[in-house]
Structures are given as structure tokens and as C-alpha cells.
Amino acid sequence: MSVPTAWLVTGAHGQLGRELAALLAGRQDDELTALARDRLDLADEAGVRSVVRDWLAGARAAGRRAVVVNAAAYTAVDAAETDEDTATVVNGHAPGWLAQELAGAGRLVHVSTDYVFDGAATEPYPVDAPLAPRSAYGRSKAAGERAVAAAGGDVTVVRTAWVYGRYGANFVRTMAGRAAAGAPVSVVEDQVGSPTWAADLAAGLVTVGERTDPVPPLLHRTDAGAVSWFGVARAVYEELGADPALVSPTTTEHFPRPAPRPAYSVLDSSAWLAAGLPAPRPWRDALSLALRDLPTG
């Protein structure tokens, strides 16, 4: 039997936040508050604490469980190299403020990233692998993980990777646009990870949030399997009926970026499965479904 729940989704205008809001809207007996930056600015500590306190008071008054899904983040990976202070506040400090306000009062599901690892592995990273971020963005997200752990309470950090979806700028949308135009592309073959459809990730996060029994404090959730960015691009072309030969492989050194990219971003999902959570679908199956109505560009 489901328990009436008050949901607070941060980052409501992002690609993940919009999927979460769509999934949670209209659920019987539940109440959704989906806030974008204009109503919940994670760089404003006083504002964050005030909004969460008011929302918690409303949840209590309505007799609902309180669950926050923190889908907001400073995600400009390259910009963070010269703006690490801001990234650290949003990604590092703000999750701790949320966790502190929720401690003893509700559950926090906090989204983290493969960038907290060094990308030098050759096998999927388990949840207890040492953190070794190589970028400002990765350092800020690692700080967020430490902050929520220090706050205590009912918190689950869910790391993910290579997220794409209907909304915002992402690799799959870009490749879909190039495929639709029949344009050639050159894509790195020496970065490997697990493409993750935002709709699948959102469904997994909601499952974590709605569980009334304890959930492990650290989990990995991507779609299943591993592939290079080159392989993803070819798959997009194939799915859309474009010639996959238009996609040519290259290496990271030919596309220098301010922030280093992990060469290997595959996350071990054993803890997720051991917790009795739904098994992720294969990445190629998810991609096929996503491309049916994915806007291009």
C-alpha cells in the first residue's frame, strides 16, 4: 500500500527535473512541488533553508511523507574550471543544506555523477570505490556527497552518467540532429560509459524515494551496458535510418576541452540490484525508445 507523499523536485527546468515532474504529476494522494532556479536558487543558503522548512511544514500538516529529489546542479563542466567557487556552492554545499533540513523529517534522494572518479578503471566502479575527481565539476560533486553524508538522516546518493533526454542540450539530441541532416561527424572512441535515458533515471529515482523501508546510502543507476561515444553516435544514426558510415572515430586528444573527461565511466549496479530496485534496461533498448519522439538539434 502506497503512503501519501509530498515530493519536492529541485532543478525542475532541467532535463532530469522535467522528467521527474512529468512522472510525479497527478499521482493519486501525492503532492508535487517542482521548483526551478527562479524559486529555489541553490546558491542562496537562507533561501534554500526557508523554502524547505515551509514545504516540510505543509507536508506535515497534510500528513504526508516528505521526499526531496535533488536534480539541480551546476552542470557546466568546462565553465566550472574557472568558476569552481560557484560550482562548489551549488553542487557541494547546497546538498548538505537540504540534507540538514530533512534530517529526521524526510528522505533526500541526491543525484551525483561518474565524475567523482578518475576514469582510469578498466572494470565498472563499485559504490565504495575511492573518490578521485580530476575536474572542478567532479570535485564539487564529491563535496556534495560528503556534505549529505555528514548531515545524516535518510539520504541516498544516486550516481549516474551520460544522461540524455528530450530536454536541453545533450549528446544524443545533437547526434540525432546531425543524423537527420545526413551530416558526417567525428566522435571520440576512447571514452567509454553507459548512456542513460533521463526518463529511465527519473523512474529509478522515484522508486528510491517512494520506498518506505531503508534504502542504501549510496547507489549507482545508469542504463545497462557500456559503449564509447563513437558507438552511441553510430547507434543514433542507425536507429534514425542514416548511414552509420558517416560517423568516424577519433580520440580525446583531438578534441581538447578545459575539463578532463573520464576515459572510463561505467558504474557497477550491483548495489542497486541488491537493494531490490528494478533492473535497468539495456542502453540500446532505451535509446531506441527515446529516439521515437526525441527533438533533434
Q: How many CB atoms lie within 10 A of CB 83?
A: 15
Distance CA 195, CA 197 (A): 7
Has residue 54 got a pLDDT over 80? yes
Kind of pairing between the strands at 31-35 and 65-70:
unpaired
Helix (H), strand (E) at residue 99: helix 94-102
Rounded to the nearest 10 degrees, the angle between the axes of helix 94-102 and helix 45-61 is 30
Has residue 39 got a pLDDT over 70? yes
Predicted pLDDT at 3: 84
Q: C-alpha grid cell for residue 65?
A: 511523507
Place of cell 556552492: 89
The answer to whether the beta carbons of residues 258 and 78 sit under 8 Å apart is yes
Distance CA 159, CA 34 (A): 21
Buried (b) or exposed (e) across 207-242, using 16+ Cβ within 10 A?
A: bbbbbeeebeebbbbbbbbbbbbbbbbbbbbbbbeb
Predicted pLDDT at 127: 98
Give which of 134, 117, 135, 115 is closest to 125, Cα–Cα: 117
DSSP letters of 122-142? SSPBPTTSPP---SHHHHHHH
Local confidence band at 18 (pLDDT 50, 70, 90 cut-offs): very high
State mean pLDDT over 213-233. Answer: 97
Q: C-alpha grid cell for residue 86?
A: 560557484
State mean pLDDT over 67-74. Answer: 98
The CATH superfamily label for domain 5-168+195-222+265-281 reads NAD(P)-binding Rossmann-like Domain (3.40.50.720)
Alpha-carbon torsion, ordered 102, 164, 73, 54, to 10 deg:
-40
Share of the chain above pLDDT 70, in %: 99
Active centre residues (catalytic): 137
Local confidence band at 28 (pLDDT 50, 70, 90 cut-offs): confident
Diameter of the chain by CA atoms? 60
Has residue 9 got a pLDDT over 80? yes
- Average pLDDT of the residues of the chain: 96
State mean pLDDT over 69-84. Answer: 97
The answer to whether the beta carbons of residues 7 and 42 sit under 8 Å apart is no
Q: What region, left, alpha or beta, does residue 221 occupy, with left being phi > 0 and alpha being psi -120 to 50 degrees?
A: beta
Predicted pLDDT at 1: 52
